[in-house]
Amino acid sequence: MRSYLDFEKPVAELEAKLEELRAMATQGDAVAIGDDILRLEGKANEALIQLYANLTPWQKTQVARHPMRPHFSDYAAALFEEFTPLAGDRKFGDDAAIMGGLARFRGQAVCLIGQEKGSTTETRIKHNFGMARPEGYRKAVRLMELAERFSLPVISLVDTAGAFPGLDAEERGQAEAIARSTDACLSLGVPNVAVIIGEGGSGGAIAIATANRVLMLEHAIYSVISPEGAASILWRDTAKAQEAAMNMKITAQDLARFHIVDTVIAEPPGGAHRDPQAAMTAAGDAIESALRELDGLDPKSLRKARREKFLAIGRNL
């Protein structure tokens, strides 16, 4: 069954009526009901398009967190061939929140890294809802070093509410691990492209998103802190998360205007969760285009361009 968000109620009601008509058509005169079905389909599609064309930042936050939205493992299966996961940070252990390994992307050998949230209760617990511990970021550093050694472009798929804030993570050096992962991104002598596919939360996101090209899906979010976290700090009231989201400039459209992200990838009507394959194909086309732009640049030029890109954010804002 399709899962609807609160603000999708008008569309949900139209689609419920549409399902009733389709059920009637199987039992009675399909020809007589056919015109009504076509009319209602058009009305529902139009309502969906209009609704998603005017989403508020808080509504986009809800869409970015939708449980049916495609995750890292979906992209890995749809866009990459011969994906070979690599595990462990060679210092403490493995972290399932960050996945990565070697793969082929449209015929080109690449290093793929990203956060996996999980899609069932079992996998969400296994992947800790996409919130990585230090060993996850140290694994990412190991993979980036491997990619540079073999001259492989790095593709990062970002989807996390943030780094795991637990006591065990802090004891093992969470902040240091995030900083070293960010530094590894900046130091890469090969092209790197990051795609914000859902939530891009805080240092947990930027640790693998400090890239030559930062792409972002149309209804994804990218912020230094979650709206709930900002509301808790500013007003001591998480109920004001909607107000916080309105003022934080967390949407792809705002961030593109500020030149924090380079490209906004259009999603299908109703969001990526309605047509995952179309969303992933669009993301793949955008990644291919970004890699083509970076092809042929030497390591020094790649590092310089990446450095200037992120320094410009601070200078311009």
Domain shared by 218 and 289, yes or no: yes
Residue that finishes a domain, picked among 34, 54, 74: 54
Domain shared by 50 and 120, yes or no: no
- Is residue 214 within 8 A of residue 196, CB to CB? The reply is yes
Give the model's pLDDT for residue 29. 60
Please count the structural domains in the chain.
2
Domain shared by 37 and 124, yes or no: no
Give the model's pLDDT for residue 245. 93
Walk along the chain (317 residues) and give the pLDDT tens digit of each residue. Answer: 678 888 888 888 887 887 777 777 666 665 567 767 777 778 888 888 989 999 999 999 999 999 999 999 999 999 999 999 999 999 999 999 999 999 999 999 999 999 999 999 999 999 999 999 999 999 999 999 999 999 999 999 999 999 999 999 999 999 999 999 999 999 999 999 999 999 999 899 999 999 999 999 999 999 999 999 999 999 999 899 999 999 999 999 999 999 999 999 999 999 999 999 999 999 999 999 999 999 999 999 999 999 999 999 988 87
Q: Is residue 261 assigned to a domain?
A: yes
Question: Coil, strand or helix: which one is 165?
Answer: coil
Q: Is residue 187 assigned to a domain?
A: yes
Question: Coil, strand or helix: which one is 116?
Answer: coil
**Counting beta carbons within 10 angstroms of the beta carbon of residue 317, is it exposed (0 to 12), middle (13 to 18) or buried (19 or more)?**
exposed
One-letter amino acid for residue 22 of the chain: R
Please tell me the distance from the alpha carbon of residue 105 to that of residue 150, in angstroms, as a whole number. 16
Domain shared by 94 and 172, yes or no: yes
Q: Which has the closest alpha carbon to 184: 151, 140, 223?
A: 140
Q: Is residue 15 assigned to a domain?
A: yes
Domain shared by 166 and 18, yes or no: no
Give the model's pLDDT for residue 16. 81
pTM assigned to the model: 0.91
Domain shared by 283 and 298, yes or no: yes
Look up the CATH number of the domain holding residue 256.
3.90.226.10
Domain shared by 13 and 162, yes or no: no
Domain shared by 261 and 297, yes or no: yes
Domain shared by 31 and 162, yes or no: no
Give the model's pLDDT for residue 30. 57
Domain shared by 134 and 240, yes or no: yes
Interacting residues of 73 by C-beta distance below 8 A, sequence separation 6+ = 99, 116, 119
Q: Is residue 206 assigned to a domain?
A: yes
Give the model's pLDDT for residue 27. 64
- Residue-range definition of the domain harbouring residue 212: 61-312
Give the model's pLDDT for residue 93. 93
Domain shared by 165 and 285, yes or no: yes
Q: Is residue 105 assigned to a domain?
A: yes
Residue that finishes a domain, picked among 38, 54, 70: 54
Domain shared by 93 and 227, yes or no: yes
Q: Is residue 317 assigned to a domain?
A: no
